[in-house]
Amino acid sequence: MVGSFGFGVIVTLPICIVIPPKAEFSTTLETGIIIGKKEELPMEPRMELINSVLAAMTALLTAEQLDKLQEVLCIKLHDYEVHPRSTEVMITDNSAEGMLNRFIATKRLEGTAETTIRLYYPYIIGLIRALGKPLYKVDTYDIRYYLSLYKQQRQVANRTLENMRKCFSSFFGWLSDEGLIGRNPCKAIKAIKYEKTVKKPFSPEERERLKNACTNLRDLALIEFLYASGCRVSEVVRLNRSDIKFHSRDVVVLGKGGKERRIYLTEVATMHLANYLAQRRDDSPALFVSRHAPHGRMGKTGIEAVLRKLGEKTGIEKVHPHRYRRTLATNLVDRGAPIQDVQQILGHADIRTTQIYLYNNPQNIRYSYEKYSA
């Protein structure tokens, strides 16, 4: 209903009448809101949220369905406080958790891998809450005690403890560098030793079996690309068709820390990739997509699932994307490539990381011994 007064116009709008929690019903009434010379009151956040949902669904629902949706939202949101999420950067929060958030924001800005960042928060917040003291008062004994207690109570492996120690050292090192604490209390804690299992690359015979197990062009192109490029799976999922330079058989990828590097492809990988792209009929720019409509970009879990199924089909254990990366590194060094070149191909900032990737084949060791010992 629309009416007029001397100082404005009354427009009738539906609003929700919030019933106390004990009541089991809600209703909708009409009321008049004067629009004109008088200033409008700010909308309550809960109603603002409801209205935004209704606006988004207007094109998809009938008027009757919208009324029902509004009624349900009013009832369900009644017992909740709704506040808009703040997007302001907090730089004055010097609480322990506030400094942790600033540390994580700094690491993200520096380009630290998200997989690493996801380790920081649960480990460090656990330490902060367990100790219950200001960070500048945390000493070496506190951290040693916490790690010992954590191992005793959780029965975790030493490798997990070493990951925790690295997280703590990075955090307290940052606090020290920022002048928020004195010395880094983790500096006196030595690396925790753990048993390192030998991670073998694929043998030539295993690679051939995996290729033969592929039943479509996409999977064949995928595993050949993983081996030839030595890319991390996180780098592969970001690639588009237009990134591949078929004439020069190379591609520029965005690696850890936002660093670009050029990687190269074998003739075999290039051929399988061209065959796969030639038979695609979708419009997606992604290099690898789902085989079923709407042919979305393949993610990390999708690629891992493809390789896991190939492993199950062939009876080969531990078939995952990173093993192809390790296989390329080992094969390059075995065939005489300088380890510095392999470091560049894999995109490692530290050559010691490249050395960890390499598998020392006992046959190669024996050959070297017999060649140089005489």
Mean pLDDT, rounded, for 63-87: 78
Q: What is the pLDDT of residue 22?
A: 39
Lowest mean pLDDT of 176-180, 220-224, 339-343, 367-371, name the range. 367-371
Q: What is the pLDDT of residue 88?
A: 54
252 neighbors 238 (Cβ within 8 angstroms): no
Predicted confidence (pLDDT) at residue 41 exceeds the cutoff of 50:
no
Domain borders along the chain are 2-76, 96-177, 204-369
Catalytic hit among 78, 151, 238, 256: 256
Reported confidence tier of residue 194, pLDDT bands at 50, 70, 90: confident
Residue partners of 247: CB distance under 8 A and separation at least 6 = none
Closest residue by Cα to residue 289 from 357, 217, 230: 217
User: Which value, in Å, is the radius of gyration of the alpha carbons in the chain?
Assistant: 30
Known catalytic residue at 369: no
Reported confidence tier of residue 26, pLDDT bands at 50, 70, 90: very low
Mean pLDDT, rounded, for 65-88: 77
CA distance 57 to 211: 47
Compute the mean pLDDT over every residue in the chain, rounded to the nearest whole number.
Answer: 83
Reported confidence tier of residue 161, pLDDT bands at 50, 70, 90: very high
Predicted confidence (pLDDT) at residue 5 exceeds the cutoff of 80:
no
Catalytic hit among 107, 165, 325, 326: 325
- Answering whether pTM is above 0.95, one says no
DSSP per residue over 28-85, as a string? EEEEEEEEESSPPPPPPHHHHHHHHHHHHHTTTS-HHHHHHHHHHHHHHTTTS---PP
Q: Which amino acid is at 252?
A: V
State the burial class of residue 320 (Cβ atoms within 10 Å of its Cβ: 0-12, 13-18, 19+): middle
Enclosing H/E stretch for 14 = strand 8-17
Options 3.90.226.10, 2.60.40.10, 1.10.443.10, 3.20.20.20; which CATH number does 204-369 get? 1.10.443.10
The residues facing 38 across adjacent strands are none
Q: What is the pLDDT of residue 370?
A: 66
Reported confidence tier of residue 254, pLDDT bands at 50, 70, 90: confident
Mean pLDDT, rounded, for 220-234: 95
Reported confidence tier of residue 14, pLDDT bands at 50, 70, 90: very low
Domains 96-177 and 204-369 equal at CATH topology level: no
CA distance 331 to 347: 17
Output 28 or 101, whichever has higher pLDDT.
101
Give the range with max mean pLDDT: 39-48, 264-273, 345-354: 264-273
The residues facing 252 across adjacent strands are 262
CA distance 34 to 8: 6
Catalytic hit among 232, 272, 323, 326: 232
Q: What is the pLDDT of residue 6?
A: 41
CA distance 251 to 297: 18
Q: Is 174 helix (H, G, I), strand (E, B) or coil?
A: helix
Reported confidence tier of residue 310, pLDDT bands at 50, 70, 90: very high
Known catalytic residue at 83: no
Mean pLDDT, rounded, for 200-225: 95
Q: Which CATH architecture has domain 96-177?
A: Orthogonal Bundle (1.10)
Cα torsion angle, 65, 71, 75, 81, sign: positive
Known catalytic residue at 348: yes
Predicted confidence (pLDDT) at residue 303 exceeds the cutoff of 90:
yes
Known catalytic residue at 357: yes
| Residue 45, CA distances (Å) to 39, 326, 339 in order | 18, 53, 59
332 neighbors 345 (Cβ within 8 angstroms): yes
Predicted confidence (pLDDT) at residue 263 exceeds the cutoff of 50:
yes
Catalytic hit among 146, 313, 322, 359: 322
Known catalytic residue at 166: no
CA distance 353 to 9: 72
CA dihedral of 250, 254, 255, 261, whole degrees rounded to 10: 40
Known catalytic residue at 136: no
Residue partners of 92: CB distance under 8 A and separation at least 6 = none
Q: Which amino acid is at 294?
A: P
